[in-house]
A and B are shown apart, each in its own frame.
Chain A
Amino acid sequence: MKRFKSVVSVMAASAMLLGTIAGCGGNAAGGNAGGNAGGDAGAETSTEAQGGSESAGGVFKIGAIGPLTGGAAAYGNAVCNAAELAVEEVNAAGGINGYKVEYSKEDDELNAEKSVNAYNTLKDWGMQILVGSTTSACSIAVSEYTKEDNMFQITPSGSAEDCVKYDNVFRVCFSDPNQGIASAQYINDHNLATKVGIIYDSSDVYSSGIYQKFVEESNGKNYEVVSAEAFTADNNTDFSVQLQKAKDAGADLVFLPIYYKDASLILTQADTMGYKPVFFGVDGMDGILTVENFDTSLAEGLMLLTPFAADATDDLTVNFVKNYQEKYGEVPNQFAADAYDAVFIIKQALEAKGATPDMSTSDLCEALKGAMTEIEASGLTSAKMTWEANGEPNKEPKAVVIKDGAYVTAD
């Protein structure tokens, strides 16, 4: 028996050792498989040891992180696909400062821990600039590491305030507080309501962030917040209680700082109970017309503040939507637009400083940090975007209203 035990022990010990060693080998192989240029594979493995801070040569390496699997996969895929599309277009047009761009994406499963793992994987691949993470909590967790490595990070859609607390992180989208403030001002300026009801997701960072600022900003406005009802991700199928409360309080406008999936249910249920206030959403509402089995006529008159509407008629949007649809078979949402812009913003900033890929990641970061406060970018999400050193974008919010099943600019 004793020998049996010791045999088992030795086997277990060697299994563990093998596991770790095989782990290292497996990782190197994984990195090569993930990288798309076979020629760079050797260089990658050798730079891995130094944390991949040196690039493999004459290419810029841009990485993206987002939830590609799981419940939030729609957002992560939108970001990663649009960034990929943008990189292809940049390369087709001759690259940045004459250098090609290489692109790689990693999955974070909407998990901050996995997001950091994804970041480290991309770092091993040789990433110099990060477009990500897609979601706020993940972006905050990753920014701790980009700060440590002094890598330039631009998050397309990480909207929580803390996402850009470090000076190396910038964002494309509006921050949650800004959306709350902008919504309150818009409702006030356009005399949309006298009594406002709010339904928000208290378990969601995005939703509760906007809600908080909206209520703060509502003080002293020409309307009154009469009901604020929360739901959580665990009970987001029946909204009759929240709607009834808003109705009983006499709300003539219901503010929905939530994502379109829940909003589509709210609209359907409000219709069933015969409650017809104005519904007002923010950028998460974009996409409501694409929900399956949703009667889009119910969304008629829905207003939303969003930086991007897929059926806008300017050339840039039309081309982007066409190319995106051809390649990925779906209509891009605002996440995609933000990511697409992010890549072109990086391009513009790199060109402004005449940066080259042989600069170290940290030097690139310093150059880009300087460039960001100087450039004025124009993209899908706004015709004119500038940045403060604190990472926040300055751009005009656009309000759109749904008329005849399409987004129309509201005024």
Chain B
Amino acid sequence: MKNKKIQDQLITYGIVIAAYIIMEILIKTGNLSSHMKGLLVPMTYYAVIAVALNLCVGILGELSIGHCGFMCIGAFFSAFFSKVTENILPTAPRFFLAFVIGIAFAALFGFLIGVPVLRLNGDYLAIVTLAFGEIIKNVINAIYLGIDSKGIHMSLKSSMDLNLEPGGEIIINGAMGITGTPHDSNFTIAVVVLLLSLFVVLNLINSRDGRAIMAVRDNSIAAESTGINVTGYKMMAFTISAAIAGAAGVLFSHNITSLTAASQYFGYNASIMILVYVVLGGIGNIRGSVIAAVILYMLPELLRGLNNYRMLIYAVVLIVMMIFNWSPGVIDTRKKLLARFRKGGSHGTT
């Protein structure tokens, strides 16, 4: 039993590493178009946040539709840090610290949101996270933050109210966000982050804590009666999930140099898109989330040649994938086919 689980985990890591090696070889030999090269990093951070959301939706069983809010927090805090220390620290430690800061703040906000909400049952988390995502977006859009020799100035009105000294620099300029974050993300770092988040999530699932979390998901009353601290475990899974989403945000903000808290990146629709990755990859199936995120992010890009028809095809693919994964009839047929295949296979080998 134990070996099987380890084997299963190793396959997940193996897929990621194999994909990484193939891509690196293609880049080194010059066989990868710049379009594909540009897609590698976004693809990976969407896979990271899909893993994070799957921990929340699939393992903890709480629906969150504001996960991009945590990504937004990670992105802005880390970009702010990188921007301020750009000329002070060398790249490697600065980027590392940016990760620490982005993850820490995303986790903190996850914790703060979780405290009141996770005590409740039902759909409350979905509602609150939805609101949270929108609030974060609007608050950041209203923040003006500048820095000069006297320290940090902040205003919620306009950049003129910062009263900066002549040499001062505006870091967060309201709706204009942060521009000029150093371009530190690359595919290798992104893959390392993906592997680490997979490691954290898969180990959590297979640990004592993970079993407790799944027990809470399956039947919280039964779990509580066996002495499991329901709120505590919910909090733990949710905070970890938020932290990993924050890591995706750090990658995001250091990949795109103009960071704005606009709806298309961190709004409700973006969060739903991540949820689509998770649902189509299989709720509770971490490996599936990675694969679905990669395929569904690449698909509209690869269909660019078809111009506006790509939206149509994307929608059709979503429906087809949904039917293939979840329709009872198709699942039955798939099982029958597999059974026949297995029978045939075992006849052959024995």
**Which residues from chain A sit less than 8 Å from chain B, CB to CB?**
2-7, 9, 12-13, 15-17, 19-20, 23-24, 26-34, 48-52, 68-69, 106-107, 109-113, 116-121, 123-124, 136-138, 140-141, 144, 160, 162, 165, 201-205, 207-209, 211-212, 215-216, 228, 232-234
Instruction: Verify B294–A216 contact, CB threshold 8 A.
Output: no
Q: Chain B residues with Cβ under 8 A from A211's Cβ?
A: 158
Instruction: Verify A124–B35 contact, CB threshold 8 A.
Output: yes
Task: Give the shortest distance, in Å, between B134 (CB) and chain A (any CB).
Answer: 8
Instruction: Verify B8–A9 contact, CB threshold 8 A.
Output: yes
Instruction: Verify B19–A212 contact, CB threshold 8 A.
Output: no
Bound Cα distance A4, B340 (Å): 12
What 14 new A-B contacts, CB under 8 Å, besides A7-B342, A27-B36, A30-B303? A12-B291, A13-B18, A16-B291, A17-B19, A23-B36, A27-B35, A69-B308, A107-B304, A118-B304, A137-B258, A141-B258, A162-B258, A212-B158, A233-B263
Bound Cα distance A109, B314 (Å): 15
Bound Cα distance A238, B308 (Å): 33
Instruction: Verify B38–A12 contact, CB threshold 8 A.
Output: no
**Do A4 and B311 form a contact, CB below 8 Å, given A30-B304, A205-B175?**
no
Q: Chain A residues with Cβ under 8 A from B15's Cβ?
A: 12-13, 16
Bound Cα distance A51, B31 (Å): 10
Of the listed stretches B22-30, B64-72, B88-96, name the one at the interface; the rest are far from the partner chain. B22-30
**Do A20 and B33 form a contact, CB below 8 Å, given A31-B305, A113-B265?**
no
Q: Chain A residues with Cβ under 8 A from B258's Cβ?
A: 112, 136-138, 140-141, 162
Task: Give the shortest distance, in Å, between A40 (CB) and chain B (any CB).
Answer: 15
Partner of B33, one of A5, A12, A27, A68: A27
Task: Give the shortest distance, in Å, between B336 (CB) and chain A (any CB).
Answer: 13
- 1/0 per residue, CB under 8 A from A, across B117-155: the answer is 000000000000000001000100110000000000000
- Size category of the binding interface on chain B: 35 or more
Judge whether B272 is part of the interface by a CB distance below 8 angstroms: no
Task: Give the shortest distance, in Å, between A146 (CB) and chain B (any CB).
Answer: 12
Q: Chain B residues with Cβ under 8 A from A107's Cβ?
A: 304, 307-308
Partner of B175, one of A26, A144, A202, A234: A202
Judge whether B42 is part of the interface by a CB distance below 8 angstroms: yes
- 1/0 per residue, CB under 8 A from A, across B4-40: the answer is 1001100100110011001100100011111111110
Q: Chain B residues with Cβ under 8 A from A123's Cβ?
A: 34-35
Task: Give the shortest distance, in Å, between B162 (CB) and chain A (any CB).
Answer: 11
Instruction: Verify A216–B22 contact, CB threshold 8 A.
Output: no
Q: Chain A residues with Cβ under 8 A from B177's Cβ?
A: 137, 205
Q: Chain B residues with Cβ under 8 A from A119's Cβ?
A: 38
Instruction: Verify A120–B35 contact, CB threshold 8 A.
Output: yes
Judge whether B325 is part of the interface by a CB distance below 8 angstroms: no
Judge whether B180 is part of the interface by a CB distance below 8 angstroms: yes
Judge whether B218 is part of the interface by a CB distance below 8 angstroms: no
Q: List 11 A-B contacts (CB under 8 A).
A: A13-B14, A17-B22, A33-B305, A113-B255, A120-B39, A121-B304, A160-B176, A202-B174, A205-B260, A212-B159, A228-B158
B291-348 interface (Cβ within 8 A of A): 291, 294-295, 298, 301-308, 311, 338, 341-342, 345
Q: Chain B residues with Cβ under 8 A from A28's Cβ?
A: 33
Bound Cα distance A12, B16 (Å): 12
Bound Cα distance A6, B31 (Å): 31
**Which residues from chain B sit less than 8 Å from chain A, CB to CB?**
4, 7-8, 11, 14-15, 18-19, 22-23, 26, 30-39, 42, 134, 138, 141-142, 158-160, 174-177, 179-180, 183, 255-258, 260, 262-265, 287-288, 291, 294-295, 298, 301-308, 311, 338, 341-342, 345
Partner of A7, one of B264, B298, B304, B338: B338
Bound Cα distance A138, B33 (Å): 21
Instruction: Verify B342–A19 contact, CB threshold 8 A.
Output: no
Which 5 residue pairs of A and B lie closest in terms of their CB atoms, listed nearest first?
Answer: A30-B305, A33-B305, A140-B258, A120-B38, A49-B30
Partner of A144, one of B37, B257, B294, B305: B257
Task: Give the shortest distance, in Å, between A220 (CB) and chain B (any CB).
Answer: 14
Bound Cα distance A45, B38 (Å): 17
Task: Give the shortest distance, in Å, between A252 (CB) and chain B (any CB).
Answer: 23
Instruction: Verify B36–A24 contact, CB threshold 8 A.
Output: yes
Bound Cα distance A152, B138 (Å): 35
Task: Give the shortest distance, in Å, between A181 (CB) and chain B (any CB).
Answer: 14
**Do A30 and B306 form a contact, CB below 8 Å, given A13-B18, A19-B295?**
yes
Bound Cα distance A28, B112 (Å): 48
Smallest CB gap from B23: residue in A: A20
Q: Chain B residues with Cβ under 8 A from A201's Cβ?
A: 175
Bound Cα distance A137, B179 (Å): 9
Task: Give the shortest distance, in Å, between A202 (CB) and chain B (any CB).
Answer: 6
**Do A19 and B298 form a contact, CB below 8 Å, given A30-B303, A121-B304, A137-B258?**
yes
Bound Cα distance A216, B161 (Å): 11
Instruction: Verify B175–A204 contact, CB threshold 8 A.
Output: yes
Instruction: Verify B256–A141 contact, CB threshold 8 A.
Output: yes
Instruction: Verify B257–A15 contact, CB threshold 8 A.
Output: no
Smallest CB gap from A10: residue in B: B11
Instruction: Verify A27–B302 contact, CB threshold 8 A.
Output: yes
Bound Cα distance A33, B303 (Å): 10
Partner of A117, one of B22, B38, B311: B38
Q: Chain A residues with Cβ under 8 A from B179's Cβ?
A: 140, 160, 162
Bound Cα distance A211, B160 (Å): 11
> Which of A124, A165, A205 has most chain B Cβ within 10 Å?
A205
**Do A216 and B34 form a contact, CB below 8 Å, given A20-B23, A233-B263?**
no
Task: Give the shortest distance, in Å, between A13 (CB) and chain B (any CB).
Answer: 5
Instruction: Verify B262–A137 contact, CB threshold 8 A.
Output: yes
Q: Chain A residues with Cβ under 8 A from B22's Cβ?
A: 17, 20
Q: Chain A residues with Cβ under 8 A from B311's Cβ?
A: 69
Q: Chain A residues with Cβ under 8 A from B30's Cβ?
A: 49-50
Instruction: Verify B18–A26 contact, CB threshold 8 A.
Output: no
Bound Cα distance A116, B252 (Å): 13
Q: Chain B residues with Cβ under 8 A from A204's Cβ?
A: 175
**Do A33 and B306 form a contact, CB below 8 Å, given A3-B342, A13-B14?**
yes
Instruction: Verify B257–A20 contact, CB threshold 8 A.
Output: no
> Which of A32, A113, A140, A228 has most chain B Cβ within 10 Å?
A113
